[in-house]
């Protein structure tokens, strides 16, 4: 006859069931440990959303936030340079530019009045003298150092030699003459070595 099992006798497949239960328990324990570790790591690293962050407050991470750089469009219009010159300086420059021609004219007038190199300038001390009175004259002859100048008088429509001469010293000369010819007399001097002549002077005698 077959063996009759007793109600209190364990079944033959009970060890297998016990093993499955143990595995499930171990899996739940490991899962719980991993979940706790992940939660703690999230809190430590700041990945979790705390109440202060969710409430809209500023956190330490928010204070260090830098906006992402964005490329901006360059200026496409024409470049304009503004005139920043001082009005007083500009006025002074304009005034100087306006006055410059006057200075040039003054310089030209001075150069015209002064004899240049090789030119003879003659002048009489008096333009009117009595008959038999000395006629004093003087002049400037730049570059004519040591030259002998001969006096000439205008007569009969031409220049004629007058019996008088004067030497040039330090670029100047001076002397006097007599004449018995009354009325208007015109004189000049000439350097016969190179033909340079002076301007004429007019002296009335009588």
Residue 74 tokens, joined: 């360059």
Question: Distance between CA atoms of 172 and 20, rounded to whole angstroms?
Answer: 144
Rounded to whole angstroms, the Cα distance separating 172 from 101 reads 33
Within a domain: 26: no
Q: Residue 8 has what pLDDT?
A: 55
The domain total for the chain is 1
Q: What is the reported pTM? A: 0.46
CATH of the domain at 159: 2.60.40.10
pLDDT at 9: 52
Residue 2 lies in a domain: no
> What's the pLDDT at 53?
44
Q: Residue 85: what pLDDT?
A: 54
C-alpha to C-alpha distance for 194 and 117, rounded to whole angstroms: 13
Contact 118/196 with Cβ under 8 angstroms? yes
Task: Give a yes or no: residue 81 inside a domain.
Answer: no
Digitized pLDDT (tens) for each residue of the chain, 206 residues in all: 455 555 555 555 567 777 788 888 888 888 888 888 777 777 666 554 444 444 444 444 444 555 565 555 555 555 544 444 555 555 554 444 444 445 444 434 334 456 677 799 999 999 999 998 999 999 999 989 999 999 999 999 999 999 999 999 999 999 999 998 999 999 999 999 999 999 999 999 99
Strands 135-140 and 172-177: antiparallel
pLDDT, position 6: 52
Report d(CA 148, CA 196) in Å as an integer.
11
Question: Which residue range forms the structural domain that includes residue 157?
Answer: 121-205
Number of neighbours of residue 139 by Cβ within 10 angstroms: 24
In a domain, 189, yes or no: yes
């Amino acid at each position: 006859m077959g063996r009759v099992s007793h109600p209190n006798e364990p079944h033959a497949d009970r060890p297998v069931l016990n093993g499955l239960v143990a595995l499930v328990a171990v899996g739940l324990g490991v899962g719980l440990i991993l979940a706790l570790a992940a939660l703690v790591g999230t809190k430590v690293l700041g990945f979790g959303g705390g109440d202060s962050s969710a409430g809209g407050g500023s956190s330490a991470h928010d204070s260090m936030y830098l906006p992402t750089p964005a490329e901006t469009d360059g200026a496409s219009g024409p470049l304009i340079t503004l005139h920043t010159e001082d009005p007083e300086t500009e006025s002074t420059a304009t005034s100087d530019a306006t006055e410059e021609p006057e200075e040039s004219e003054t310089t030209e007038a001075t150069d015209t009045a002064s004899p240049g190199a090789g030119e003879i300038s003659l002048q009489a001390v008096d333009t009117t003298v009595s008959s038999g009175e000395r006629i004093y004259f003087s002049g400037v002859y730049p570059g004519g150092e040591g030259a002998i100048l001969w006096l000439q008088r205008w007569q009969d429509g031409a220049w004629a030699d007058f019996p008088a001469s004067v030497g040039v010293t330090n670029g100047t000369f001076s002397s006097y003459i007599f004449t018995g010819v009354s009325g208007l007399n015109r004189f000049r001097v000439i350097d016969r070595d190179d033909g340079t002549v002076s301007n004429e002077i007019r002296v009335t005698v009588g």
